[in-house]
């Protein structure tokens, strides 16, 4: 019983913490983000298993976490409000070639971040080559460059 | 020109079917864990009392290998003889667990064939309790019998890996 309850509690704690810190938290995989992620995992491990290092305990914790994730995915697919609350929504950063400074500021993003994402995915050289940029609910920035679609740039 | 892709519809159908069965099995596994079929939980909590009621054992039916577990022995005032309670533990349980501690600490510990006797000093007459903490070292079923003043009870624990 304790394995299931521990996994459930930690799942909820992590969900709340990660949602409160915003979709950008830990998504920009710099070395430091990666190290923080490892430390979070290390800290969670103790709380999940306690002093019990048996196979049964580990299997129960893993099964509970996977099942919760599966159930959360299902509920997000079934109910729009559940998806919005647990997984957030995408936000438009560049609208038809026009950067939206208010939105960028809200997410603590700069035009540089948009150009970086465009460079990585499409070899974009300057911001004026970006037609659309979206901060996805996963925390990544996706870029649609001009001239990529049939309308041309 | 069509998409170059290694698609296999029959296999995909089969995979979906297996996934659904898998989710059912995992749900059953987690529920079993929650109710106490795989460790601590309501179905695991158990109590065994001796015939004349001189000793009652509260224990877990299901426990995990090498994990901290505890059991509680409760004695009524009648179990005290000359200021001590003598508890004899025997069975495969004694050899199958690593005793971590007994609280309050026994004033004397003696070996008997197939088991061990603990003497607990009692300050004032009355109902008393003894907490035994241990770590199971063997897999499978371990059994113990507890004797206090000639009154016997027994319990069985299942040690999961």
Mean pLDDT per 10-residue section of chain B, whose length is 161 residues:
86 95 96 94 94 94 94 92 92 93 92 93 89 95 94 95 94
Nearest to A57 among B30, B34, B64 (CB): B64
**A23-39 average pLDDT score:** 81
The separation between the first and the last C-alpha atoms of chain A, rounded to the nearest angstrom, is 60
Q: Do B67 and A63 touch (CB under 8 A)?
A: no
- Specify whether the CB–CB gap between B44 and B32 falls below 8 A: no
CA distance A85 to A19: 8
Give me the pLDDT at residue A152, please. Answer: 42
**A104-119 average pLDDT score:** 92
Give me the pLDDT at residue A80, please. Answer: 94
Give me the pLDDT at residue B6, please. Answer: 86
Q: Do B67 and A64 touch (CB under 8 A)?
A: no
CA distance B98 to B61: 17
Is B68 within 8 Å of chain A by CB?
yes
Residue A100 burial by Cβ neighbours in a 10 Å radius (0-12, 13-18, 19+): middle
Give me the pLDDT at residue B18, please. Answer: 96
Question: For residue A78, what are the CA distances in angstroms to A75, A125, B105?
Answer: 5, 41, 58
Q: Which of A139, A14, A137 is nearest to A65 (CA)?
A: A14
* Location of structure tokens 């179905």: B43
Rounded to 5°, the CA angle B149-B154-B158 comes to: 150
- Specify whether the CB–CB gap between B156 and B141 falls below 8 A: yes
Q: Cβ contacts (< 8 Å) between B160 and chain A: which residues?
A: 54-56
**Res A76 pLDDT > 50:** yes
- β-strand partners of B135: B98
CA distance A14 to A45: 13
Q: Over chain A, what is the mean pLDDT?
A: 89
CA distance B130 to B124: 15
- For testing the chain A interface, which of B27, B64, B139, B157 should be mutated: the one with the most A CBs within 10 Å? B64
Q: Do A63 and B34 touch (CB under 8 A)?
A: no
Give me the pLDDT at residue A153, please. Answer: 40
**Res A29 pLDDT > 60:** yes
**A71-100 average pLDDT score:** 94
**Res A28 pLDDT > 90:** no
Q: Do A63 and B41 touch (CB under 8 A)?
A: no
How do beta strands B62-64 and B151-160 pair?
A: parallel
The distance of B35 to chain A (nearest Cα, Å) reads: 6
Closest residue of chain B to A4, computed from CA coordinates: B34
Q: Cβ contacts (< 8 Å) between B133 and chain A: which residues?
A: none
Q: Cβ contacts (< 8 Å) between B36 and chain A: which residues?
A: 1
Is B36 within 8 Å of chain A by CB?
yes
- β-strand partners of B86: B119
Q: A102 pLDDT band (50/70/90 cuts)?
A: very high
**A31-50 average pLDDT score:** 88
Give me the pLDDT at residue B4, please. Answer: 87
- Specify whether the CB–CB gap between B30 and A63 falls below 8 A: yes
**Cβ–Cβ pairs < 8 A, chains A and B:** 60
Rounded to 5°, the CA angle B1-B4-B8 comes to: 125
- Specify whether the CB–CB gap between A69 and A86 falls below 8 A: no
Can you tell me the ipTM of this complex? Answer: 0.86
**8-state DSSP, B106:** P
**Res A151 pLDDT > 50:** no
Q: Do B30 and A53 touch (CB under 8 A)?
A: no
């Amino acid at each position: 019983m304790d394995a299931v309850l521990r996994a459930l509690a930690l799942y909820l704690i992590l969900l709340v913490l990660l949602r409160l810190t915003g979709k950008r938290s830990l998504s920009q995989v710099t070395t430091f983000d990666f190290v923080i992620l490892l430390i979070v995992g290390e800290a969670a491990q103790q709380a999940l298993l306690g002093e019990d290092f048996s196979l049964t305990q580990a299997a129960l914790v893993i099964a509970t976490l996977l099942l919760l994730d599966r159930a959360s995915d299902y509920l997000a697919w079934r109910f729009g409000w559940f998806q919005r609350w647990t997984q957030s929504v995408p936000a438009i950063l560049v609208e038809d070639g026009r950067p939206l400074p208010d939105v960028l500021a809200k997410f603590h993003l700069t035009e540089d971040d948009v150009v970086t994402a465009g460079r990585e995915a499409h070899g974009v050289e300057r911001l004026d080559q970006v037609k659309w940029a979206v901060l996805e609910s996963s925390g990544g920035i996706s870029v649609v460059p001009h001239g990529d679609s049939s309308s041309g740039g | 020109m069509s998409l170059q892709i290694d698609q296999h519809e029959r296999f995909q159908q089969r995979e979906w079917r297996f996934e659904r069965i898998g989710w059912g099995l995992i749900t059953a596994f987690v529920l079993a864990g929650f109710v106490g079929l795989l460790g601590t939980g309501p179905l695991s909590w158990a109590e065994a009392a001796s015939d004349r009621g001189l000793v009652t054992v509260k224990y877990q039916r299901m426990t995990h290998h090498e994990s901290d577990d505890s059991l509680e022995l409760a004695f009524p005032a009648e179990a005290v003889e000359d200021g001590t309670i003598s508890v004899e533990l025997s069975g495969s349980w004694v050899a199958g667990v690593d005793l971590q501690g007994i609280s309050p600490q026994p004033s004397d510990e003696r070996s008997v064939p197939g088991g061990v006797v603990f003497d607990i000093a009692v300050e004032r007459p009355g109902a008393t309790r003894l907490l035994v903490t241990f770590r199971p070292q063997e897999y499978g079923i371990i059994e113990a019998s507890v004797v206090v003043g000639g009154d016997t009870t027994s319990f069985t624990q299942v040690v999961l890996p």
